[in-house]
Amino acid sequence: MAKVKHILVDNMDPRLLVAKAGGVEGWHEMIGGEQYFVVEGCSQEALEAALVDEMVAKDATDRINATAKRKILDALAASDAGMVRAVEDILDALVAAALIKESDIPKIVLDKIAARVALRAKL
């Protein structure tokens, strides 16, 4: 059986490549200072085709994940203003009910709330 090799791509399952290429065994090997994935029992073309299939599948998955992540980030950003106002109202209610003192709230938070109140007053 011939041994064929290809530089291993990060985050790729070697067993999957062996199965896709029709090989019988695969292992990592250092050749000339580079790490290779060596497969026994398949052609170089079969290994390269399996590698391309995996890279295309990984790229598609990465793009889907990036799109989903962007949608989540957009939804979070869209809800930020409403959430900030809700937190302001909660803090006001807690202070008004004497459950917390205004001095319990960090100064930087009070300053940000004051800036927002001043901006809203200008509307």
Structure tokens of 91? 């803090």
Local structure of residue 8 (DSSP, 8 states): P
Q: Is 25 left (phi over 0), alpha (psi -120 to 50) or beta?
A: beta
Helix orientation angle between 44-96 and 107-121, rounded to the nearest 10 degrees = 80
Question: Over the stretch 46-90, which tens digit does the pLDDT of each residue have?
Answer: 777 777 777 777 777 778 888 888 888 888 888 888 898 899 999
Question: Over the stretch 20-49, which tens digit does the pLDDT of each residue have?
Answer: 766 666 766 676 777 666 767 777 777 777
The pLDDT, as a whole number, for residue 1 is 41
- Strands 25-31, 34-40: parallel, antiparallel or unpaired by DSSP? antiparallel
Asked if the model's pLDDT at residue 101 lies above 60, the reply is yes
Global confidence as pTM:
0.44
The phi, psi pair for 30, rounded to 5°, reads: -85, 125
